Amino acid sequence: MDSILALKEQTKELNVLYVEDDESSRQQLSQVFSLLFARVVIAQDGEQGWEKYEDGVYDIVFTDINMPKMNGIELAEKIKTSNPLQKVVLISAHNESDYLLPAIRIGVDGFIMKPIEIDQMEDVIQNVANMIESKKIVNEYYSRLESEVKKKTQELQELANTDVLTGLYNRNKFKEMVEKEGNKILLLVNIDNFDNINISYGYNDGDSILRNIAHFFKENAPSQADVFRLGHDEFAFLCLDRTLVDVQHFAENLQNKIATFPIKYGKISVRFTVTIAIAQGESDLLRNAHLALKEGRLLGKNRIKLYDPSSSFESYQKEIQRHIPILFDALSEDKIIPYFQPIVNNKTKEIEKYECLARIIGGDGHIILPNFFIKAAEVSGMLPSITRSMIEKSFLFFRDKPFNFSINISEPDLNDNYLIDFLKEAVQKYAIDPSRVVLEVLEGVSAYATEANLNQLNELKLLGFQLAIDDFGAQNSNFERVHRLQVDYIKIDGTFIKHIDTDPNSYKIAQSITNFAKSIGAQVIAEFVHSQAVYEKVLELDIEYTQGYYFGEPKGHC
């Protein structure tokens, strides 16, 4: 009861609709709901629930699944279609396979299991209430931001060298001072997880805390050093006539002081940590410090990282820049070539199709793999040019062969809006039926693509091309988007396949993805199948296709 009363402090202003056909369950749970919520409207079946939903405004809808006239899944889908932002919680005694995939597709916000356990019910209600509260905070912030933007813009113009919020020097002043001659040492200080402070206390209190942090930095700055606010939660100390040892010692002391002494504002007392990057020299200080900060973040937070031009991270960035001219040369000299990896039909044990994978012929004739040049292609905007080359050469290669084949499509390809016309021309030029061509898009593209890009993919489907989601499970899965695209294939990310014979969790994930794929009528391709043991597990899951070194590595022929 104490926990219920504690939860009520967060839920006492919320209005809910409760739909349940079982009288005993309805009486039991409605009593609990009446303690938690401002208003509880009861409906005895799905149809009555829909009528009451149309007549009212509710923060949360709780609905049983197994009901006459209209079941809970149907009611939830109808509500989510009408208002995708409506919070819906399902109540059911069914096992997971009965409703998990339909519920995921609909986008329900929680599940309460029968027989009802108070702790589990409280956790679900707490999570949904947190979502409602977070959205309210965000909406309040954007409302305030719209009204303040003009005022803040004018203030920034008037105070060209001063940060309006904190009174510290701003980025304009930093640029002026960092360009002066002489050796300088820069400390770049980033507050760890400051967004959590904004969410917890609101943006007004967050700004006040930032002002107090800025005051703390200014009070503790070493002699011969200026303090700047460069961004939202990013500060800098520009030190002159100081040794590197002195500055490192100062950074350590600053980090310890911040962890020891809380920043106070009114009744709020906040403890936080910072990640600090240090760069020394006469030029490129901010760039070098940001590079060190980024590298430090890879190790964790609450770190001090000294810029090191010989570090592997620096080498990685330089490697990207090194491959950009190689890419330009490869495209201008037609040195992008396709390699082909077989995809085996698990029922017939025959090669049915191939995936076309890009390679570059290097200056000395050696083959450059994608992991060396794809990042450079993304950074430089050359991915669409690589895709065009791969389409032309793959269509040419397979026009007189009996195999289907797949080509990787990136988000920049869709953003450039050239694919439909380009593929139409390729189909006519090489006399290839579009149904032989599988367009593979990364899971992230399906999850986050714009409406225009989704429309392109749907139009390509209408033209006869097949669609596959590549590396499914590696990113944030958007089941609704995948279902909406009506994909033909789902390729399970190799992370979940290569250890499927020894890792029970990998097996369960692969099994869940397979079940989801079958529920939407898509076939499954298992990637990274490298051994007999892994292949046997793939067959056990009734996966339709296999791709991996067990059957063949990518080659320049098939």
Share of the chain above pLDDT 70, in %: 94
pLDDT, mean over the chain? 87
Neighbours of 204 (CB within 10 A): 12
Tell me what pLDDT residue 454 has.
Answer: 86
Tell me what pLDDT residue 325 has.
Answer: 84
Share of the chain above pLDDT 90, in %: 45
How much is the average pLDDT of 439-456?
74
Minimum mean pLDDT range among 135-139, 260-264, 486-490, 532-536: 260-264
How much is the average pLDDT of 493-509?
93
Give 204-209 contacts, CB < 8 A, sequence gap 24+.
204/144, 205/265, 205/266, 205/268, 207/165, 208/265, 208/266, 209/263, 209/265, 209/268, 209/270
C-alpha to C-alpha distance for 384 and 422, rounded to whole angstroms: 11
- Residues pairing with 225 in the sheet: 239
**pLDDT reading at 448 higher than 60:** no
With tokens 């917890």, the residue in question is 200
Encode 514-533 in three state secondary structure.
Answer: HHHHHHCCCEEEECCCCCHH
Tell me what pLDDT residue 228 has.
Answer: 93
Report which secondary-structure segment, H or E, holds 390: helix 383-398
**pLDDT reading at 279 higher than 60:** yes
Q: Which residue has the higher pLDDT, 422 or 245?
A: 422
Name the band, by pLDDT with cuts 50, 70 and 90, for residue 432: very high
**pLDDT reading at 443 higher than 60:** no
Name the band, by pLDDT with cuts 50, 70 and 90, for residue 77: very high
C-alpha to C-alpha distance for 125 and 414, rounded to whole angstroms: 40
Minimum mean pLDDT range among 50-54, 303-307, 336-340, 470-474: 470-474
Helix (H, G, I), strand (E, B) or coil at 95: coil
How much is the average pLDDT of 163-174?
90
| Inter-residue contact 161 to 170 (CB < 8 Å) | yes
Q: What are the φ/ψ torsions at residue 3 (nearest 5 degrees)?
A: -70, -35
With tokens 């191939």, the residue in question is 354
Minimum mean pLDDT range among 162-176, 238-252, 302-316, 332-346: 302-316
**pLDDT reading at 150 higher than 80:** no
Question: Can you say how many angstroms the Cα of residue 438 is from the centroid of all Cα atoms in its chain?
Answer: 25
How much is the average pLDDT of 525-537?
95
| 1-20 pLDDT per residue, tens | 667 778 888 899 999 999 99
| 357-405 pLDDT per residue, tens | 999 998 778 888 888 888 888 878 899 999 999 999 999 999 999 999 9
| Inter-residue contact 166 to 247 (CB < 8 Å) | no
How much is the average pLDDT of 477-484?
66
C-alpha to C-alpha distance for 248 and 255, rounded to whole angstroms: 11
With tokens 């793959």, the residue in question is 394
**pLDDT reading at 446 higher than 60:** no
**pLDDT reading at 151 higher than 80:** no
C-alpha to C-alpha distance for 540 and 553, rounded to whole angstroms: 23
How much is the average pLDDT of 245-271?
84
In DSSP notation, 405-429 reads EEEEE-HHHHHHT-HHHHHHHHHHH
| 89-137 pLDDT per residue, tens | 999 876 656 677 888 888 899 989 888 888 888 899 999 999 988 888 8
C-alpha to C-alpha distance for 134 and 404, rounded to whole angstroms: 48
Minimum mean pLDDT range among 119-123, 246-250, 282-286: 282-286
Q: Which two tokens stand for residue 76?
A: 């939830």
How much is the average pLDDT of 287-313?
83
Tell me what pLDDT residue 398 has.
Answer: 97
Tell me what pLDDT residue 95 has.
Answer: 62
Residue 187: CB partners within 8 Å, gap ≥ 6? Answer: 236, 237, 239, 247, 250, 251, 276, 277, 278, 289
Residue 505 CB burial class (10 angstroms; 0-12, 13-18, ≥19): exposed
Q: Which residue has the higher pLDDT, 503 or 556?
A: 503
Domains annotated on the chain, with CATH: 2-134 (3.40.50.2300), 171-309 (3.30.70.270), 318-547 (3.20.20.450)
| Inter-residue contact 91 to 114 (CB < 8 Å) | yes
How much is the average pLDDT of 478-490?
78
Tell me what pLDDT residue 413 has.
Answer: 92
**pLDDT reading at 475 higher than 60:** no
How much is the average pLDDT of 332-348?
94
Choose among 478, 517, 487: nearest CA to 104: 478
Name the band, by pLDDT with cuts 50, 70 and 90, for residue 161: confident
Tell me what pLDDT residue 478 has.
Answer: 56
Check whether the bond before 115 is cis (ω within 30° of 0). Answer: yes
